[in-house]
Structure 1
Amino acid sequence: MVKFLCEAAGVSRSGYYNYFSAKSEEQRKRQEKKDEEAKTLILKAFHFKGRKKGARQFKMTLAGQFQCVFNLKRIRRIMKKYNIFCPIRKANPYRRMMKATQEHSVVPNILNRQFKQGIPYNVLLTDITYMQYHNGQRAYLSVIKDGSTGEILAYHLSNRITMELATNTLHKLKKNRNFKKTKDALIHSDQGTHYTHPGFQKLVKKMGLRQSMSRRGNCWDNAPIESFFGHLKDEANIKPCKTFDELKREIDKYITYYNHYRYQWNLKKMTPVKYRDHLLQAA
């Protein structure tokens, strides 16, 4: 009979007899005693200060108030064994639903390095860089550059790297009186969180722009704006700036110089603004 039941349960006969041995019975009694002691301590943590707690709070309260170190796996096992439930809040399903629909999303590389299309305002390149100035202070610069002319169309400097860094740059682009969006205009960036954020993508659509993104980890897919940042850091007097306001004035001066007075060999030896006017007159 024992053999038949062991086979039906998938248990070896030696295991069956070992389970009911005096030694195993004694081990189970010792384990039960330990679990009862653990249950008593966990209930003390449960009732401590009369506040609702979860398993992690039990662990920290036991260590901080009762000098008992339990791991989370043991605490959860005891809670399950003795039906100790925590009346803590449950996840809000509507909030979870909203989060799912607001997730960051990556878009394809539509531009595919076709930066110079001979049409001003058709290809917009954007990115963010940091600048270190006096005593290790940092500032962050967001820029939108015209891929065809090299002109800096909008930029925003901040001492904090927030989501608004990218969206404020878009708002400044809208305020640029010279900017005349083409029918198929697109804005190209890397896959940074600023550009995959639903808030940024919503504003891009509202402005009637298509969106394109570089392949992950491929800086060549947005090379012209990387080149601009390189020139900026080489040529602008960033490190001597002692305050954020000083840095902002220097960035303003440099971008004015870059757009209006810095001649470029690959723009037919013109400045970005002169080359822009040249392309518009030829159209």
Structure 2
Amino acid sequence: EERRGKGSTGRKSEGELSAEEKLRRAEARIRLLEAENELLKKLEALERQTNKTLSSPERFQLIDLVLRKHGLKRVTRYLCQIAEVSSSGYYRWCSAEGRRQIREEADERDFLLIKEHFETRKGRAGVLVIKMRLERMNGVVMNHKKIRRLMQKFKLVTLIRKANPYRKMAKATQEHRTCPNLLKRQFDQGIPEKVLLTDITYLRYGTGQWAYLSCVKDGATKQILAHYLSSTLELSLVKRTLDLLIKRLDGNVHPDAIFHSDQGMHYTHLTTRRLIAEAGFKQSMSRKGNCWDNASMESFFGHMKDELEYKDCVSLQELRQRVNEYVTYYNSERYQWTLKKMTPDEIRNHLIAA
């Protein structure tokens, strides 16, 4: 009988099904729900474990695993919708099974070569070291990206030096903290001892010895208010310079005095920051990697290294004496064009008188 257009599909209604057919449908529905639930759980667990969104091939593999496990048919498109991938992409992935198998076998052969050199170096061979050893010892030219991919795939982790935990501890405890740039390159504000610039420079002398000079410079008068030379870069280098500065000022600290430096560990350390605050200074720091924010201090170091004969010194005491003599000369005798042709000491007296 022709049934088109008569409102019936020709399928049996729920009431016309036998008990066996109803049971079969119920079992199929249960298998589908179990497959759907398992697929969603696996997707969520893997993404949480890897902390990233799974790629399409990884999703295809999960769909294939679920279909085989539950023996489902004609639900591939539905599972692809759940996994948010295209069904056509899944079928292409299935058709490439042979090529994947060939690649897997090739990866395993290459991995055995990589593993041999990895174990020879007792787990201390990185990607580039393995690449060089493969070329020299086995005559195998393998791209370093492939070596890295295979090492990640087969969980080969190179033993490297552990990171210094002090940095993490310092960050967690806020032991080293930077300050905003309050100065903004306004070095000369016309008031003596209001802008205090500081930095550390390296001096190589004698037969390769190193010395470290810490200075504090007045931004307005360009005087060197305090300096200290040391053979080490310990925190005490800055502390002693600050002590000399405080002794030089003798309690006459400008209420808006700014102590400006770079972001070196000597100046971000909690001890130094506390000393600066107790002295009554507002601490300011240059932006990271920007030497121009402390250009006036850098300029002094440049002139000093051009004019001071220090490389032939044979001892730290001799170098310290020459640095002291140069600072005295710089403050009292060295005329500067930008200071109205006066010395730093003369411009200070001039500003105070004005």
Normalising TM by the smaller chain, what interval?
Answer: 0.5 to 0.7
Q: Is 1:4 aligned to residue 75 of structure 2?
A: yes
Change in 2 beyond 3 A, CA 1:168/1:72: farther
Query: 2:263 is aligned with what amino acid?
Result: Q
Contact kept in structure 2, 1:195 and 1:201, CA below 8 Å: yes
The Cα offsets for residues 188-227 of structure 1, whole Å up to 9 and x where unpaired, read as 2233333333332222212111122234444333232222
Q: Which residue of 1 aligns with 2:294?
A: 222
Change in 2 beyond 3 A, CA 1:59/1:137: closer
State the number of aligned residues. 256
Q: Which residue of 2 aligns with 1:162?
A: 234
Q: Which residue of 2 aligns with 1:267?
A: 339
Q: Is 1:182 aligned to residue 293 of structure 2?
A: no
SS in 2 for 1:250: helix
Alignment of 1:230-241 (within 5 A): 230-241=302-313
Contact kept in structure 2, 1:173 and 1:179, CA below 8 Å: no
Tell me how far apart the structure 2 counterparts of residues 197 and 159 of structure 1 sit (CA, whole Å).
20
RMSD between superposed Cα atoms in Å: 4.6
SS in 2 for 1:278: helix
Structure whose CA Rg is larger: 2
Q: Is 1:102 aligned to residue 175 of structure 2?
A: yes
Tell me how far apart the structure 2 counterparts of residues 18 and 239 of structure 1 sit (CA, whole Å).
71
Alignment of 1:133-152 (within 5 A): 133-152=205-224
The Cα offsets for residues 71-115 of structure 1, whole Å up to 9 and x where unpaired, read as 999999999xxxxxxxxxxxx9xx967642224324124343242
What stretches of structure 2 of length at least 5 have no aligned partner? 1-71, 81-86, 106-121, 126-146, 156-164
Q: Which residue of 2 aligns with 1:251?
A: 323
Contact kept in structure 1, 2:211 and 2:232, CA below 8 Å: yes
SS in 2 for 1:176: helix
Q: Which residue of 1 aligns with 2:263?
A: 191
Tell me how far apart the structure 2 counterparts of residues 217 and 224 of structure 1 sit (CA, whole Å).
16
Tell me how far apart the structure 1 counterparts of residues 294 and 277 of structure 2 sit (CA, whole Å).
21
Tell me how far apart the structure 2 counterparts of residues 237 and 15 of structure 1 sit (CA, whole Å).
75
Alignment of 1:40-59 (within 5 A): none
Tell me how far apart the structure 2 counterparts of residues 233 and 179 of structure 1 sit (CA, whole Å).
32
1:185 shift after superposition: 0.4
Q: Which residue of 1 aligns with 2:185?
A: 112
SS in 2 for 1:155: strand
Question: Any runs of at least 4 consecutive aligned residues in structure 1 with deviations exceeding 4 A, and if so which?
Answer: 9-19, 57-60, 71-79, 95-98
Query: 1:142 is aligned with what amino acid?
Result: S
Query: 2:186 is aligned with what amino acid?
Result: R
Give the stretch that moved more between structures: 175-184 or 203-212.
175-184
The Cα offsets for residues 129-167 of structure 1, whole Å up to 9 and x where unpaired, read as 111212232211110011111111111212222333323
Tell me how far apart the structure 1 counterparts of residues 332 and 95 of structure 2 sit (CA, whole Å).
92
Tell me how far apart the structure 1 counterparts of residues 189 and 92 of structure 2 sit (CA, whole Å).
79
Contact kept in structure 2, 1:108 and 1:212, CA below 8 Å: yes
Contact kept in structure 2, 1:111 and 1:188, CA below 8 Å: no
From 267, 276, 283, the counterpart of 2:348? 276
Alignment of 1:32-111 (within 5 A): 99-100=171-172, 101-111=174-184
Tell me how far apart the structure 2 counterparts of residues 75 and 221 of structure 1 sit (CA, whole Å).
45
Query: 2:311 is aligned with what amino acid?
Result: K
Change in 2 beyond 3 A, CA 1:96/1:213: closer
1:5 shift after superposition: 6.4
Change in 2 beyond 3 A, CA 1:233/1:98: closer
1:239 shift after superposition: 1.2
Contact kept in structure 1, 2:197 and 2:259, CA below 8 Å: yes
Change in 2 beyond 3 A, CA 1:236/1:179: farther
Structure having greater relative contact order (Cα 8 Å, sep ≥ 6): 1
Tell me how far apart the structure 1 counterparts of residues 247 and 76 of structure 2 sit (CA, whole Å).
83
Query: 2:246 is aligned with what amino acid?
Result: K
What stretches of structure 1 of length at least 5 have no aligned partner? 31-56, 61-70, 80-91
